[in-house]
Copies of this chain bind each other. A is one copy, B any other.
Amino acid sequence: MTYGETRLGILGGGQLGRMLLQAGIDLNLYTLILDPDADAPCKSLCHEFYQGSFADFSTVYNFGKKCDVLTIEIEHVNVEALFKLEAEGVRVYPNPEAIRIIQDKGLQKEFYQQHQIPTADFRLVANRVEVEQNQDFLPVFQKLRRFGYDGRGVTRLATAEDITKGFDEPSVLEKLVPFEKEIAVIAARNARGEVSCFPVVELSFHPEHNLVDYLFSPANISPAIEQAAQDLATQVIQAFDMVGLLAVEMFLTPAGELLVNEVAPRPHNSGHHTYKANYTSQFEQHLRAILNLPLGNTGLHSAAVMLNLLGEAGFSGEAQYEGADAALAVSGVTIHLYGKKYTRPFRKMGHLTITAPTVAEARQKAEHVRNLVKVKA
């Protein structure tokens, strides 16, 4: 067995890395973290912490040389260093080529096209002039090819007048797809090629603001769509020849078609509930995959809702958490704080998971607790 005392390096020391470290305690891993923030959430939970930029070649390379296995919690890392580390025998999971493609939304879209993976129609543009030359393609979402994150780097161009409000940088113009639901599947694959998918997660949008309100699982879809979504996620992770987790966000169209929106080659927000509602959490599964262990049972033992705890608008500074006591008094509610010292408006500071025997009951409880907890300063 390979994992007792395996030296596992993680590029990124935020909440995803923190939850990986938490799961890794079970496996007695020796852990190393690289993060630019000296107060990163992982700081006190790893064996070795290095402050540095994961965009910098030699920082990533020198860090990676200390590791047996190297993984990521964020995809915006220096891939040249990863290619070199892989060539020198470090087990880099996910593979650098998959990261290179996924980092760039343009390459991502082309990859789907090349691999017959259904996705919304798109065009690539280099700047605003090229956007203007593609007015016939509107309405679209304009997405920056690189460094978009959590909704940043995305804007909607409905008419020609919107173009000046858009980006003047290399970006993807993606045809607006009318969709019925937005869903996500997390797939895992280990080095021996086993693939396993978590049950589909559905995003619930706020009826007025059109922002994601919370996620729930199982999704409110037919068994046939559930199967098709898992098959599609399996197709995508195999196409990338990836080891580790791949979170696949999809649109379900009114015609019952599934289109891949975006992917993330790492643990993902849409899998946080698995820690409390599934037999195996996404974090344990990622570790099993990259350590080439048998994959765990992904089934749900409970229905679940996951609510992000975002920094309240109007508050910046040392985080204070209000109202958690009332939320925790509700049976099935657990809180997970990310260990971030400072809050700012809409910063992801933690999440609540609400489990119940049925999704209807979990969603009902979520409606009750969603406004109880506030992150202020």
Q: List chain A positions with a Cβ less than 8 A from chain B.
A: 1, 3-4, 18-19, 21-22, 25-28, 31, 44-47, 276, 279-280, 284, 288, 293-294, 296-297, 301-302, 319-325, 328-329, 331-332, 334-339, 350, 355
What is the bound-complex CA distance between A4 and B319, given in angstroms?
A: 9
- What would 15 more interface pairs be, CB under 8 Å, given A28-B338, A296-B331? A1-B320, A3-B324, A4-B319, A18-B25, A25-B339, A28-B337, A28-B350, A31-B44, A44-B47, A276-B279, A279-B332, A293-B324, A294-B325, A296-B334, A297-B332
Q: With A and B bound together, what is the CA distance between A297 and B320 in angstroms?
A: 26
User: How many Å lie between the Cα of A276 and that of B281 in the bound state?
Assistant: 10
What is the bound-complex CA distance between A322 and B46, given in angstroms? 25
The answer on a CB contact under 8 Å between A331 and B45 is no
Query: For A338, what are the chain B residues with a Cβ–Cβ distance below 8 Å?
Result: 28
A64 to B187, CA, bound (A): 46
Structural contact, B329 and A294, CB atoms closer than 8 A? yes
Kindly list chain B residues whose C-beta atoms are within 8 Å of the C-beta of A28: 337-339, 350
Please name all residues of chain B whose beta carbon is closer than 8 Å to the beta carbon of A335 when the two chains form the complex: 26-27
Residues of B within 8 A of A324 (CB): 1, 3, 293
Bound CA span A280–B334, Å: 9
Q: Are A279 and B302 in contact (CB-based, < 8 A)?
A: yes
Cβ contacts under 8 Å, A334 to chain B: 26, 280, 284, 296
Q: Of all chain B residues, which has the CB nearest A2?
A: B325
Q: How far is the CA of A276 from the CA of B276 in the complex (A)?
A: 9
Bound complex: CA A319 to CA B31 (Å):
18
Interface centre among A3, A46, A279, A355 (most CB of B within 10 A): A279
A82 to chain B, nearest CB (A): 26
Which residues on the B side are within 8 Å of A337 (C-beta)?
4, 26-28
What residues of chain B lie closer than 8 Å to A27, measured between beta carbons?
335, 337
Which residues from chain B contact A19 at a C-beta distance below 8 Å?
25
Contact partner, A4, options B26, B288, B320, Cβ 8 Å: B320
Measured between C-beta atoms, what is the minimum distance from A203 to chain B in Å? 23
In the complex, A4 Cα to B46 Cα: how many Å? 20
Docked Cα-Cα span, A45 to B4, in Å, equals 16
Which of B25, B280, B321, B323 meets A22, CB within 8 Å?
Answer: B25
**Residues of chain B with a CB closer than 8 A to A321's CB:** 1, 4
Q: Which residues from B are CB-within-8-Å of A31? A: 44
In the complex the two chains form, what is the Cα distance from A332 to B294 in whole Å? 11
For residue A332, which residues in chain B have a CB less than 8 angstroms away from its CB? Answer: 279, 297
Let me know if B279 and A355 touch, CB within 8 A: yes
Q: Check A297–B331 contact: CB distance below 8 A.
A: yes
A350 to B3, CA, bound (A): 14
Complex Cα distance A350/B5, Å? 14
8 CB contacts below 8 A, A to B, read A1-B321, A1-B323, A18-B25, A22-B22, A28-B337, A293-B324, A296-B331, A296-B334
